[in-house]
């Protein structure tokens, strides 16, 4: 996979993960153009695009578009499942995930994504293993800084 | 050591669950009161881009002051870092924060380190000068007794690492290949995969260790090694033919449901693994009868097993079909695969139809009759409302063009061209039309007209070879002298007419062609 973008129906970027080295300028240009192209697609159309020399696979979940770019190797369908699996992971972690969860906790969304896809490739681990790895790290966080819990509630 | 860590970890949730659950809704509530939450809500309340810019610039100035202040704690730094990531995501520059991201990863505790590493992976790129500063931290974390830190280090290495410093970490990572915990082994394999991608000669000597990973008792580690094998086999399939048996065995086990149930995805066993194996087998069996024979059985079974109507099953089916057509042909398998393609093409689901068309394009050389079987559907797709389907159909037609159908096909292509605005498509399609026109043109008039249409639409973006070839063709001509004269005459006449039309804009290259033709050929 070359990159994954998450954006809202208004075209606001919520998450961007790039697996290929590109300059900031190029990234911005690609993001801008791709978002426009995907938003222009109608619901009944194919969720695969050929855009420049890339293949784009996208899927909309409620108000969020998940958009992946893959190299030409005919992996469109399985990429759709990668997106779906990522959504399942987010759902399990946040408990009925919605766009707000991703906006306000985007760093957690990134952590989950990095456990699931490493270097653009799927780490074939069961859903259980991915979430366990995140939870272990989360627990360690809590263990290390018990005072943060009180701070969050505003008691310090 | 890790057992003790695990026991401690499992005892902790009881202490904390009363106050805050891991992630989940409570986590969200906490974030609402965070500084990031405030910033996000602030942005959402604004209505114009100008106001957003002002607010973000304010935020960035305050962040800049905070990150440079000596009194800022690491905890505060982590919080700032999250907001910096957010600002960069919105498109604003926060490069002053990059060095602090590295420092955070270096000096922070687990919580802070995690955010630091994340920030580094998002901010920097492979050739960034600051990246070298990360290496020491990575080396330290790789040797940490805390497994989570080791995982973080391996994760960052798999995402971004300076090529020149690979030797500094390579032995440490190689060492991790034998770690008792499978998550570490798996991440180590993926880190080595990254190294293979950016500096293949640096990992030449450890190919033997990849074999061990392939035979690892943990499915995740084995699956990770497949990424490396796929690349290596792609470059040199003959070096790995001896592994064909192993790959076939693994695939048989997966398809036969021998993996732990955990690895099922919607009742399908390890789909990503299946697909990766199918791709590898496709490469190994190409043009090689003996090797292909080893895989016919398992391919047959895969085709049979993929009965469910879930997207992921279609994905596996599609890959199976692809593999069947790549390897040494076997007629029974080809028949089954052809039936599959048929189901795709006729499917009401638009994604599958698109893939069916794609598959047809792919197999057209080996099995031209398949396209004929589905020609009604193909013709319908030509007028499909979705431009992507239309374009795929044109791709397919381009491959089955002959002297009889060239006029219709080129006309459809020109129609598509007129409504297309994307430069990439225009260049591509114009090239194809020019090629077909030259090859199959039924008569001179049609040829000149078509080329004129190509020039006016293709204009200045098309490949310079196209007008050059055209002019050369007119100059050198074909074998028949009278034909050539007529062709040239027609060309000259038509251009004179075109140039007479007022208030019309012709692209530069078209004008060049017209002027050249009129100048050199009108005698």
pLDDT at site B203: 86
Contact: A80, B351; criterion CB under 8 Å: yes
**Does the CB of A137 have a partner CB in chain B at under 8 Å?**
yes
pLDDT per position as a tens digit, B347-356: 888 999 998 9
Contact: B31, A105; criterion CB under 8 Å: yes
**Residue A49's beta-bridge partner residues?**
A56
pLDDT per position as a tens digit, B269-326: 889 999 999 999 999 999 999 999 999 999 999 888 876 677 888 999 999 999 999 9
pLDDT at site A109: 93
Contact: A123, B22; criterion CB under 8 Å: no
Single pTM value for the model: 0.82
**Residue A55's beta-bridge partner residues?**
A50, A70
CB-hemisphere CA count at 13 Å for B225?
Answer: 23
CA distance B492 to B448: 10
First to last CA, chain B: 94
Is the complex ipTM higher than 0.95? no
pLDDT at site A73: 72
Contact: B122, A47; criterion CB under 8 Å: no
Say which range, A8-22, B44-58, B245-259, has the weakest mean pLDDT: B44-58
**Does the CB of A127 have a partner CB in chain B at under 8 Å?**
yes
Angle at alpha carbon of residue B102, lines to B100 and B108, rounded to 5°: 85
Q: Is A43 exposed, middle or buried (0-12, 13-18, 19+ CB in 10 A)?
A: exposed
Band (pLDDT 50/70/90 cuts) for residue B20 is: very low
What are the backbone angles phi and psi of residue A121, rounded to the nearest 5°?
A: -110, 145
Interfacial A residues in 10-39 facing B (CB < 8 Å): 12-17, 19, 21-24, 28
Q: Is residue B404 over pLDDT 70?
A: yes
Which residue do the tokens 């998002």 mark? B122
In chain B, % of residues over pLDDT 90: 30
CB B100 within 8 A of CB B69: no
* Helices A127-144 + B2-11 axis angle, to 10: 80
Cβ atoms within 10 Å, residue A25: 8
pLDDT at site A140: 67
Q: Is B199 exposed, middle or buried (0-12, 13-18, 19+ CB in 10 A)?
A: middle
Contact: B386, A119; criterion CB under 8 Å: no
CA–CA min distance B376, chain A (Å): 20
Residues 6 or more apart from B457 whose CB is under 8 A from it? B414, B417, B418, B426, B430
CB B285 within 8 A of CB B292: yes
Q: Closest partner residue to B13 among A49, A114, A139, by Cβ? A: A139
Band (pLDDT 50/70/90 cuts) for residue B264 is: confident
CA distance B291 to B288: 6
Interfacial B residues in 10-29 facing A (CB < 8 Å): 12-13, 16, 19-20, 22-25, 27-28
Mean pLDDT of A50-78: 88
Q: Closest partner residue to B40 among A50, A75, A103, by Cβ? A: A103
**Residue A7's beta-bridge partner residues?**
A13, A65
> How far is C-alpha B76 from the chain's CA centre?
38
CB A86 within 8 A of CB A66: yes
**Does the CB of A54 have a partner CB in chain B at under 8 Å?**
no
**Cα distances (angstroms) measured from residue B381 to each of A55, B384, B392, B410:** 20, 5, 9, 16
CB B413 within 8 A of CB B433: yes
**Cα distances (angstroms) measured from residue B409 to each of B78, B397, B404:** 60, 7, 10
Q: Which residue has the higher pLDDT, B28 or B285?
A: B285
Contact: A76, B260; criterion CB under 8 Å: no
> Which residues in chain A have their CB less than 8 angstroms from residue B162's CB?
none
pLDDT per position as a tens digit, B310-342: 788 899 999 999 999 999 988 888 888 888 888
Contact: B219, A124; criterion CB under 8 Å: yes
> How far is C-alpha A24 from the chain's CA centre?
19
**Does the CB of A9 have a partner CB in chain B at under 8 Å?**
no
Helix (H) or strand (E) holding A16: strand A13-18
Contact: A152, B33; criterion CB under 8 Å: yes
**Does the CB of B196 have a partner CB in chain A at under 8 Å?**
no
CB A21 within 8 A of CB A36: no
Which pair of tokens denotes residue B494? 């038509």
Contact: A95, B25; criterion CB under 8 Å: yes
CA distance B166 to B26: 41
**Does the CB of B308 have a partner CB in chain A at under 8 Å?**
no
CB B285 within 8 A of CB B297: no
> How far is C-alpha B273 from the chain's CA centre?
17
Residue B121: closest CA among B159, B82, B87: B159
**Does the CB of B323 have a partner CB in chain A at under 8 Å?**
no
Q: Which residue has the higher pLDDT, B13 or B135?
A: B135
Tell me what the pLDDT averaged over chain B comes to.
84
Which pair of tokens denotes residue B326? 């790549």
Band (pLDDT 50/70/90 cuts) for residue A152 is: very low
Say which range, B117-126, B174-183, B192-201, B445-454, has the weakest mean pLDDT: B445-454
**Cα distances (angstroms) measured from residue A74 to each of A2, A54, B329, B359, B360:** 14, 11, 20, 9, 13
pLDDT at site A142: 60
pLDDT per position as a tens digit, A105-141: 999 999 999 988 887 788 766 777 777 777 777 776 6
Q: Is residue A154 over pLDDT 60?
A: no
Rg (CA), chain A: 17
Q: Is residue B7 over pLDDT 60?
A: no
CB B32 within 8 A of CB B66: no
Which of B12, B28, B196 to substitute to test the interface with A, most A CBs within 10 Å? B28
Which pair of tokens denotes residue B88? 């960069």
pLDDT per position as a tens digit, B68-92: 888 888 888 999 999 999 999 888 8
Contact: B186, A119; criterion CB under 8 Å: no
> Which residues in chain A have their CB less than 8 angstroms from residue B270's CB?
124
Say which range, B115-124, B134-143, B443-452, B498-507, has the weakest mean pLDDT: B498-507
């Amino acid at each position: 996979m070359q990159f994954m973008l998450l954006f809202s129906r208004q075209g606001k970027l919520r998450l961007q993960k790039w697996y290929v080295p590109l300059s900031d300028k190029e990234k911005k240009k690609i993001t801008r153009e791709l978002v426009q192209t995907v938003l222009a697609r109608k619901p009944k159309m194919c969720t695969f695009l050929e855009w420049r020399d890339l293949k784009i696979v996208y899927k909309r979940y409620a108000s969020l578009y998940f958009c992946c770019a893959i190299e030409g190797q005919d992996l469109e369908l399985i990429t759709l499942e990668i997106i779906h699996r990522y959504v399942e992971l987010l759902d399990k972690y946040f408990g009925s995930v919605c766009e707000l969860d991703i906006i306000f906790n985007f760093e957690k969304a990134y952590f989950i994504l990095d456990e699931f896809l490493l270097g653009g490739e799927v780490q074939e681990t069961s859903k259980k293993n991915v979430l366990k790895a995140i939870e272990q790290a989360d627990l360690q966080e809590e263990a290390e800084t018990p005072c943060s819990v009180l701070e969050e509630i505003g008691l310090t | 050591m890790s057992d003790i860590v695990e026991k401690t970890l499992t005892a902790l949730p009881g202490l904390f669950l009363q106050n805050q659950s891991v992630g989940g809704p409570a986590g969200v509530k906490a974030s609402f009161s965070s500084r990031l939450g405030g910033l996000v809500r602030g942005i959402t309340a604004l209505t114009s881009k100008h106001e957003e810019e002002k607010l973000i610039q304010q935020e960035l100035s305050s962040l800049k002051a905070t990150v440079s202040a000596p009194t800022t704690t690491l905890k505060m730094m982590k919080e700032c870092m999250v907001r910096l990531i957010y600002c960069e995501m919105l498109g604003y520059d926060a490069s002053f924060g990059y060095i602090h991201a590295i420092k955070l990863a270096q000096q922070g505790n687990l919580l802070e380190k995690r955010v630091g590493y994340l920030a580094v992976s998002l901010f920097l790129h492979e050739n960034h000068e600051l990246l070298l500063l990360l290496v020491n931290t990575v080396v330290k974390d790789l040797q940490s007794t805390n497994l989570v830190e080791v995982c973080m280090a391996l994760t960052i290495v798999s995402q971004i690492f300076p090529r020149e410093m690979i030797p500094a970490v390579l032995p440490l990572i190689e060492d991790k290949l034998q770690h008792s915990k499978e998550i570490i082994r798996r991440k180590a394999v993926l880190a080595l995969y990254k190294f293979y991608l950016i500096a293949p000669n640096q990992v030449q000597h450890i190919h033997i260790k990849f074999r061990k990973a392939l035979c690892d008792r943990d499915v995740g580690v084995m699956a990770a090694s497949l990424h490396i094998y796929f690349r290596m086999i792609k470059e040199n399939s003959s070096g790995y033919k001896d592994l064909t048996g192993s790959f076939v065995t693994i695939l048989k086990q997966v398809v036969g449901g021998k993996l732990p149930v955990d690895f099922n995805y919607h009742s399908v066993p390890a789909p990503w693994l299946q697909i990766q194996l199918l791709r590898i087998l496709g490469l190994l069996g190409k043009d090689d009868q003996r090797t292909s024979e080893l895989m016919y059985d398992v391919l047959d079974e895969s085709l049979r097993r993929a009965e469910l109507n879930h997207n992921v099953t279609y994905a596996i089916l599609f890959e199976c079909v692809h593999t069947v057509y790549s390897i040494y042909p076997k007629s029974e398998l080809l028949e089954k695969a052809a039936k599959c393609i048929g189901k795709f093409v006729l499917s009401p689901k638009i994604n599958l139809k698109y893939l069916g068309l794609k598959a047809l394009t792919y197999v057209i050389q080996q099995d031209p009759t398949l396209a004929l079987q589905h020609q009604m559907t193909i013709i319908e797709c030509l007028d499909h409302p979705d431009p992507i389907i239309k374009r795929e159909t044109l791709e397919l037609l381009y491959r089955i063009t002959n002297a009889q159908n060239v006029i219709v096909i080129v006309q459809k292509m020109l129609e598509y061209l007129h409504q297309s605005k994307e430069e990439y498509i225009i260049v591509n399609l114009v090239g194809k039309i020019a090629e077909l026109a030259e090859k199959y043109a039924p008569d001179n008039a049609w040829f000149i007209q078509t080329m004129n249409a190509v020039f006016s639409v293709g204009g200045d973006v098309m490949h310079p070879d196209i007008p050059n070839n055209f002019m050369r063709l007119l100059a050198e001509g074909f074998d028949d002298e009278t034909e050539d004269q007529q062709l040239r005459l027609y060309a000259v006449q038509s251009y004179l007419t075109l140039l007479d039309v007022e208030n019309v804009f012709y692209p530069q290259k078209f004008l060049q062609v017209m002027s050249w033709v009129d100048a050199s050929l009108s005698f």
